[in-house]
Chain A
């Protein structure tokens, strides 16, 4: 992270920032006073950056327990006259949606920006949602940046807009901006207000009475969008071929037009304000265009908006609309599936203009096709070397097999979602939303009346526990649902980059915070709690097994820090004794390598035995216990600097 660059006071300087850092910087330039978020890729680094500098800049930043709480806190700041930002990934908006639809009716006071990061292609998500539909349902304005630099510029503008119309403004971000890095021109930093105060005469109420007010405010936003600096047309004045693009689609579009040599023929309309549509601006281009191509990420949102605008025009020419709805813009899995790429843009504009682009060149592709190599094996996602989750799943799976009643494991959202795949031994059978494991388990648990006799194990992570599992756990306890909740506590929010949570004893800004241990919460609910170290496999298996034999709602915490946490120092590493490992002739059938599949346990084909990759091994020692031959032992590593 370029925290240094975030702090630079000098306007005009050009630095390299990630999209997320740029948004953080934009907020600081706008006089941000309050920031709250729940981590979620690809949005997490915004709050992480803000929190890191919050103390010195005199504003407040927190990791909230979930997105709804985060948005509520930010709204409070707005009501007190403090500019606020709340940040979440698309899935998080679903959680906050109830509040956001209410907030739209009640309105805001000081500028409030809601950043929602979509993850087209679901690089780090279980689904690829297009947030714009939800935001439109709530009646809030949507901005979309096309570059990292623009993301920074957009934020102060969004605060101004929010204050002008009395509504929060949504900045819809996507992975290719959030996690991109680019040159950004810094503006001046603005300190936050020091006069936070709730006007005793003010009221912010969600009443149907305000529905017309909300519509009026949206019309006001539309009017301002007509002249917004983020909407731009480039190309010949009366181009018959028009590309309408937003987000990273715009850079792909301009680059493709250039690569195809179509600058003289194709116009590109860049939209940075995508809802409500700046109708006059768009309509003015529909008058000259005969073919309109849309480049946007995930669903044909703009495409539909523009088409319906065209349908409302009284005088309209014959226009052909090309996009996802018409399947002209499609990746390998089809339109509206996966992220937009330069290749998709090039292909679509080539088709639009009847041009061709020779990529690779000079027979490169032919040579590549002729390589005398078998298919390159893909790289499936896997738990890291030393990851406690691998050990936890081995324990859960073993205990369930030993129990023999065909127990069901319901999963949740985090690194440990990989429990549905090979390195989690395909143990997890359901995955939905944050905290859903416990709700589902609670439901399964109550089916005994209807003949259900399988034990049920819910698996959630530590951060997920606080986020949304607690209400479901209360439900299970209240309704006496027999389930075993296993909390895979790796002492951090690992998937999104190691953010603290209420159990860690650290605040977002790194200050000490009173730790709220998971066991204290569960015991407070009157539940029996056992705590085990998953790296001690035998004990962990026994605990799961034992708890499966008892009635009622039970909690097991499998606690061991994430192998990637900087504080998890590597003190040991495993070595295979080639004299003891009997290789293929062992009854284990290459267990450590083929089944347990820690990435550090590789197969040495020449010696015909297992070998530990010393670069990867984290020294967790689980393989030492599992090898039936005792062929693996731990060695101390020399102290490593850093």
Chain B
């Protein structure tokens, strides 16, 4: 476990505005609290070592160490991380399709994990897309379905995790952004917690939005009524509720959460499975199966008829890798410039060189 105290967390992450809003540090103590997707010490804590520091994905992050510890293999793909399968997938349930962001893979897998008894609870992100979402602990299918759909801000989804670990002995699923997946793996570094996460599902995330996004929405009355927000490949940010309103991406960009600018992991490299869009067919998802546990979950869901998969179209793999490469290279450039916001990263020279050189198929 990483060692450091609340004062370090405050100095290196919170006051540096590098907090991803993952929520992992919350729920342990009376000092660290969150509201409106800001995390802050409401009173200085005088301990010199704390779980808050240990679990935070931004006090430090060493991709090689996580690869070894979580996946147990050297990195297969410098951009997509290690994986066993790269697929397209979708839910086979009409209800889920009606509510999900894309193919509903995430919701289908979560609901399946609950219904099959693999987990007894799932930590998800509920609420509508135009005001602050809230963490939810879902214990049945309805609750899972209610949390479907992407909310584009940094909900501290992991807030209930500390309480679940403390108050129960159940196994649970978590759906989180890549930063949240990394944080969960930090939580798991404590052997007491190792067996508790039966399904860690990551969603792709190239950036999340800051709280100011909701002020932007509130200032544009029509947007507040949207039930879904999407960023389709055609461009712009689409707010829809029967009718659609498209806002140019440039108007949204200023609201990107600062911590996201220096994130090296858009695909949740240490999840059991990672789910994203296909950037092609919104009825399907990209599904990256990374761990044996993830593989078992997907196989069982397919066998039970909850999920349908198909091979990833080979011609689209370079497009996916290029998107990730672009992001990783921007961050590595910032590392090279000595941007203090990237100091949390320890990237080996080899990895760095590989990112900059890129795979043959990446332009």
Q: Do A and B share a direct contact in the complex (Cβ within 8 angstroms)?
A: yes
Chain A interfacial positions (CB closer than 8 Å to B): 394, 397-399, 401-404, 425, 541-542, 545, 549, 587-589, 591, 595-596, 626-630
**CA of A626 to CA of B42 in the docked complex: distance in angstroms?**
12
The verdict on B177 contacting chain A, using a C-beta distance below 8 Å, is: no
Determine, out of B30-38, B181-189, B226-234, B326-334, the stretch whose residues face the partner at the interface: B30-38
The verdict on B94 contacting chain A, using a C-beta distance below 8 Å, is: no
Closest Cβ–Cβ distance, residue B55 to chain A (whole Å) = 12
A545 and B36 form a contact (CB under 8 A): yes
**Chain B residues, Cβ within 8 Å of A425:** 43
Given A401-B43, A541-B35, 7 further pairs, Cβ under 8 A: A398-B43, A401-B41, A588-B30, A588-B31, A589-B47, A591-B29, A629-B166
A404 and B43 form a contact (CB under 8 A): no
B30 and A626 form a contact (CB under 8 A): yes
Most buried by A among B28, B34, B35, B167: B35
**Chain A residues, Cβ within 8 Å of B47:** 587, 589
Point out the residue from A397, A542, A627 that lies within 8 Å of B42, measured CB to CB: A397
**Chain B residues, Cβ within 8 Å of A399:** 35
Top 4 closest pairs, chain A to chain B, by CB: A398-B42, A587-B29, A402-B35, A401-B42
Interface residues of B in 39-98 (CB under 8 A from A): 40-43, 45-47, 50-52
Write 17 A-B pairs (CB below 8 A) sorted by A numbering: A398-B42, A401-B40, A401-B41, A401-B43, A402-B38, A402-B42, A404-B38, A545-B35, A545-B36, A549-B36, A549-B215, A587-B29, A589-B29, A591-B30, A596-B30, A628-B30, A629-B166
**Chain A residues, Cβ within 8 Å of B41:** 401
A628 and B29 form a contact (CB under 8 A): yes
The verdict on B27 contacting chain A, using a C-beta distance below 8 Å, is: yes
Closest Cβ–Cβ distance, residue A495 to chain B (whole Å) = 26
Closest to A398 in B: B42
**CA of A589 to CA of B50 in the docked complex: distance in angstroms?**
10
A588 and B43 form a contact (CB under 8 A): no
B40 and A402 form a contact (CB under 8 A): yes
B27 and A398 form a contact (CB under 8 A): no
**CA of A631 to CA of B45 in the docked complex: distance in angstroms?**
19
A587 and B33 form a contact (CB under 8 A): no
Most buried by A among B28, B167, B215: B28
Closest Cβ–Cβ distance, residue B296 to chain A (whole Å) = 35
B40 and A404 form a contact (CB under 8 A): yes
**Chain A residues, Cβ within 8 Å of B33:** 398, 401-402, 541
**CA of A587 to CA of B41 in the docked complex: distance in angstroms?**
13
- How many residues on chain B are close to A (CB under 8 Å)? 23
**CA of A588 to CA of B167 in the docked complex: distance in angstroms?**
17
A628 and B35 form a contact (CB under 8 A): no
**Chain A residues, Cβ within 8 Å of B50:** 587
A589 and B34 form a contact (CB under 8 A): no
Most buried by A among B27, B42, B51: B42
**Chain A residues, Cβ within 8 Å of B215:** 549
Closest Cβ–Cβ distance, residue B127 to chain A (whole Å) = 15
**CA of A589 to CA of B29 in the docked complex: distance in angstroms?**
9
Most buried by B among A394, A588, A628, A629: A628
* 1/0 contact string of B241-268 vs chain A (CB within 8 Å): 0000000000000000000000000000
Closest to B214 in A: A549
**Chain B residues, Cβ within 8 Å of A397:** 42-43
A402 with B51: in contact, given A397-B42, A587-B28, A628-B29 (CB under 8 Å)?
no
Closest to A623 in B: B30
**Chain B residues, Cβ within 8 Å of A591:** 29-31
Closest Cβ–Cβ distance, residue A543 to chain B (whole Å) = 11
Closest Cβ–Cβ distance, residue A524 to chain B (whole Å) = 28
Closest to B45 in A: A589
A595 and B35 form a contact (CB under 8 A): no
Closest Cβ–Cβ distance, residue B213 to chain A (whole Å) = 13
**CA of A587 to CA of B46 in the docked complex: distance in angstroms?**
10
B28 and A403 form a contact (CB under 8 A): no
**Chain B residues, Cβ within 8 Å of A630:** 167
Closest Cβ–Cβ distance, residue B165 to chain A (whole Å) = 13
**Chain B residues, Cβ within 8 Å of A541:** 33, 35
**CA of A542 to CA of B34 in the docked complex: distance in angstroms?**
10
Point out the residue from A398, A545, A588, A596 that lies within 8 Å of B29, measured CB to CB: A588
A402 and B29 form a contact (CB under 8 A): no
Closest Cβ–Cβ distance, residue B180 to chain A (whole Å) = 20
**Chain A residues, Cβ within 8 Å of B42:** 394, 397-398, 401-402
Closest Cβ–Cβ distance, residue A190 to chain B (whole Å) = 59
**CA of A397 to CA of B44 in the docked complex: distance in angstroms?**
12
**CA of A516 to CA of B271 in the docked complex: distance in angstroms?**
60
**CA of A596 to CA of B29 in the docked complex: distance in angstroms?**
13
Most buried by A among B30, B41, B45, B215: B30
A627 and B43 form a contact (CB under 8 A): no
**Chain B residues, Cβ within 8 Å of A629:** 166
**CA of A186 to CA of B38 in the docked complex: distance in angstroms?**
67
**CA of A588 to CA of B33 in the docked complex: distance in angstroms?**
13
**CA of A397 to CA of B34 in the docked complex: distance in angstroms?**
13
Closest Cβ–Cβ distance, residue A88 to chain B (whole Å) = 39
**Chain B residues, Cβ within 8 Å of A403:** 38
Most buried by A among B36, B38, B166, B215: B36
Point out the residue from A394, A542, A589 that lies within 8 Å of B35, measured CB to CB: A542
**CA of A627 to CA of B50 in the docked complex: distance in angstroms?**
17
**CA of A614 to CA of B40 in the docked complex: distance in angstroms?**
34
Interface residues of B in 14-37 (CB under 8 A from A): 27-31, 33-36
**Chain B residues, Cβ within 8 Å of A587:** 28-29, 45, 47, 50-52
Closest Cβ–Cβ distance, residue B317 to chain A (whole Å) = 42
Interface residues of B in 93-126 (CB under 8 A from A): none
A402 and B36 form a contact (CB under 8 A): yes
Closest to B211 in A: A549
Closest to B46 in A: A589
Closest Cβ–Cβ distance, residue A595 to chain B (whole Å) = 6
Closest Cβ–Cβ distance, residue B39 to chain A (whole Å) = 8
**CA of A629 to CA of B35 in the docked complex: distance in angstroms?**
20
Most buried by A among B29, B51, B167: B29
A595 and B30 form a contact (CB under 8 A): yes
**CA of A628 to CA of B52 in the docked complex: distance in angstroms?**
14
**CA of A542 to CA of B132 in the docked complex: distance in angstroms?**
13
**Chain A residues, Cβ within 8 Å of B40:** 401-402, 404
**Chain B residues, Cβ within 8 Å of A394:** 42
Closest to B29 in A: A587
Closest Cβ–Cβ distance, residue A30 to chain B (whole Å) = 55
Interface residues of B in 143-190 (CB under 8 A from A): 166-167
Most buried by A among B43, B50, B166: B43
Closest to A397 in B: B42
Closest Cβ–Cβ distance, residue B162 to chain A (whole Å) = 8
**Chain A residues, Cβ within 8 Å of B27:** 628
**Chain A residues, Cβ within 8 Å of B29:** 587-589, 591, 628
**Chain A residues, Cβ within 8 Å of B43:** 397-398, 401, 425, 595
**CA of A4 to CA of B42 in the docked complex: distance in angstroms?**
51
**CA of A172 to CA of B31 in the docked complex: distance in angstroms?**
49
**CA of A545 to CA of B45 in the docked complex: distance in angstroms?**
21
Closest to B50 in A: A587
**Chain B residues, Cβ within 8 Å of A398:** 33, 42-43
**CA of A597 to CA of B28 in the docked complex: distance in angstroms?**
19
**CA of A402 to CA of B132 in the docked complex: distance in angstroms?**
15
Closest Cβ–Cβ distance, residue A552 to chain B (whole Å) = 15
**Chain A residues, Cβ within 8 Å of B51:** 587
B28 and A628 form a contact (CB under 8 A): yes
**CA of A46 to CA of B151 in the docked complex: distance in angstroms?**
63
Closest Cβ–Cβ distance, residue B241 to chain A (whole Å) = 25
Interface residues of B in 183-235 (CB under 8 A from A): 215
Closest Cβ–Cβ distance, residue A453 to chain B (whole Å) = 14
**CA of A595 to CA of B31 in the docked complex: distance in angstroms?**
10
**CA of A399 to CA of B35 in the docked complex: distance in angstroms?**
8
**CA of A402 to CA of B166 in the docked complex: distance in angstroms?**
25
Closest Cβ–Cβ distance, residue A584 to chain B (whole Å) = 10
Closest to B49 in A: A587
